[in-house]
Chain A
Amino acid sequence: MIKIVKRDQPSRAIFFLTPVLAIFLTLAAGGLIFYILGFKPFEALKFFFIVPIADMYGFSELLLKATPLCLIAIGLSFCFKSNNWNIGAEGQLTFGAIVSGGVALLFYEQEGFYILPIVILAGAIGGMLYASIPAILKTYFNTNEILVSLMLVYVSKLILDYLVVGPWSNPEGFNFPETRQFTDSARLPLLFEGLRIHAGIFLALAAVVISWFVFYKTYLGFQMKVSGFSLKTAKYAGYKGKKMIILVFLISGACAGLAGVGEITGPIGQLHREVSPDYGFTAIIVAFLGRLHPVGIIFASLVVAITYLGAETAQIFMQIPKYTGQVFQGMILFFLLASDYLLFFKFKFIGSKK
């Protein structure tokens, strides 16, 4: 007989094992779905998870895709660790892209080593400004940051629409919704000739290192942890909650803004209506799959990135609908949340007696 027993303490080993379990369950369920749809499950999984990264180009595309996810998820983990539910990274990314894109357009057809740093900085500031709105409203007016940050996503997209259709549209572009191409001095340099992976990956790696240091070696990290466990305890300990809330939102916004910069000054090279395929939302999955741990987030961003690439390859070579990629992302999150049950409960095998 099997009995379910509550654990005395959440298991630490299980804490890091459940993401792996979730990935395996997703693969198994994915294989089953492919089988039901009439595809060979192992062949489909091969095209989904191995073929896309079988060559250098594919591997560089994986890193290209994982970079914004990792960067945003690192930023979000500052918020999530401290009980601040910033759901609007997509908006902060978009606004960061708008500000940095605007600056890049100011330097149209100009050259200079100083242009790129200014453009990058502008993106970070844009993201911070946009994240400060839900932060300030939460701290001073007690609004719900989930709603405010989420709704601001749609506002940012409308602002972007307005700008690329109207005042910033390419004067030689027949009124199509796109800006001019940025000058090369405003573009992130490519790391290898012929591959699209760009210097933005260093921003993501820097964010990983810095966040690890902050989380585990600083007083702020400790404050975030305590606030995450119990807001009352944090208050009792005398932490100045407002300052911390605003700070984590600013960090999160800066990371999302930088992810936006990476997209527009990296592979895209201009502003148009679709700067990000919802990286800001997918990064929420990445953050939780990575257990809000910097190293975990690196792995999680690679896993989620491959679901995008795999979906394309599977459609090209096996005619599997591309939207299965989103099904995989959803399943990973679902299985992760479901297996979190094991954190607090365990199965006990009891010999049955008659």
Chain B
Amino acid sequence: MHKFLIRSFVSSLVLLFTLTVAAVAKDVKAAFVYIGPTGDHGWTYQHDVGRKAVEAAGFKTTYVEGVPESADAERVLRQLANSGHDVIFTTSFGYMNPTNKVAKEFPNVKFEHATGYKREHPNVSTYAARFYEGRTILGTIAGTMTKSNVIGYVASFPIPEVIRGINSFTLAAQKVNPNIKTKIVWAFTWYDPGKEAEAAKALIDQGADVIAQHTDSTAIVQIAEKAGVYAFGQASDMDKFAPKAVLTSVENNWGPYYVDRVKAVANGTWNQKDTWHGIGDGMVVISDLDSQMPADLRSKVKKLQADLASGKVHSFTGPIYDQKGNLMVAEGKTADDGMLAGMMTYVKGVEGDIPK
């Protein structure tokens, strides 16, 4: 009797073990937490495109949209971790502390936080894209296409990510056209079509004939279309919203990374990482180049794109000077990731001060 009990106990344990292993390998479920609506055609939209790629790869996914970065984020994360999700992607900076807090309570669930820097537990990874590489392309196009030599730039918040973009854009524009000036309007929002439109109008009134943006709505390209100036799409290909104005877009392409990471969870090979991918890894994608651009510019851009991808060209190659003329990066050197991550000074040629 005893033996029988022990035997059946052991065999059921083995069975249970195989079942769990099989279950883990097959039914990996991924969850995504979004700051905005999936229909914003910007930041959240692109993350959702990435999520659909995960679905297409055969995994189940769940998403929650419009999760504020307030006390609510933690509850949503805990609920997702509690309801059978194996990996959770938190796609906004403000989820950083809640992500790490919930990760501590659920060591078996993997957490992937976008654009943050805290990895307090072994089950937390961070990822971000080198969007500044895309802005090097945009700057090259803007510097060539402008006639007024004034380029407008609608910025969101004065954080390194945005300053880095402005600098990378301006440096590239200066390279093809030393006379250009970049005028910045701070919208203090990531997504507010009304405010973004006003900012774009203000820049056009100041003589800008090319508008770049680091906010997410399609309002700016639509204003540019009406005013007859050029613009660039942000996050997704915005050509269909303003076919004449949009010269190209910088697309956030999260799909390959998401599929890769979810597969890693399924195979049991997931490990903690800090990922910062650019054009070379396909996380930053340049949309089709508009035919309004001269053919030689288009081929130049194609080459630049290939060189950025291969690492032959770096967006921040010296000599780079700040607004006061102090040397930031010496000739022949490139800015390292540490400098890029904390960049809080404008390069020469950007007008105005960073709001403090």
Contact = CB atoms under 8 A, between A and B. Distances in A.
Interface of A: 57, 61, 64, 158, 161-162, 165-167, 174-178, 181, 196, 263, 266-270, 272-277, 308-309, 312-313, 315-317, 319, 321-323
A273 B157 CA distance: 11
A105 B100 CA distance: 22
B65 A321 contact: yes
The interface size bin for chain B is: 35 or more
Contact of B69 (A196, A272, A312): A272
Given A174-B160, A316-B62, 15 more contacts: A61-B75, A158-B188, A165-B157, A166-B356, A177-B157, A269-B97, A273-B69, A273-B94, A274-B70, A276-B70, A309-B75, A315-B63, A315-B64, A316-B76, A323-B37
A308 B72 CA distance: 9
A322 B68 contact: no
B342 interface: yes
B9 interface: no
Given A166-B355, A166-B356, A175-B159, A316 B72 contact: no
A86 to B, nearest CB: 22
B177 to A, nearest CB: 30
A336 to B, nearest CB: 25
A263 B71 CA distance: 7
B206 interface: no
A267 B71 contact: yes
Contacts of B62: 316, 319
A327 B93 CA distance: 27
* Top 3 A-B residue pairs of the complex, sorted by shortest distance between their CB atoms: A267-B71, A277-B68, A274-B69
A176 to B, nearest CB: 6
B64 A165 contact: no
B117 interface: yes
A282 to B, nearest CB: 12
Contacts of A308: 72
A177 B71 contact: no
Interface string B63-97: 11111111110111011100100000000011011
29 contacts: A57-B78, A158-B188, A162-B355, A165-B157, A167-B356, A174-B342, A176-B96, A178-B94, A181-B97, A196-B71, A196-B74, A267-B71, A272-B94, A274-B68, A275-B70, A276-B70, A277-B70, A277-B72, A312-B64, A312-B76, A312-B79, A313-B79, A316-B76, A316-B79, A316-B83, A322-B65, A322-B67, A323-B37, A323-B66
Contact of A177 (B37, B66, B97, B159): B159
A200 B44 CA distance: 34
A315 B65 contact: yes
Nearest to B68: A277
B70 to A, nearest CB: 5
Contacts of A322: 64-67
A313 B65 CA distance: 12
Contacts of A270: 97
B188 A161 contact: yes
Given A272-B94, A274-B94, A64 B71 contact: yes
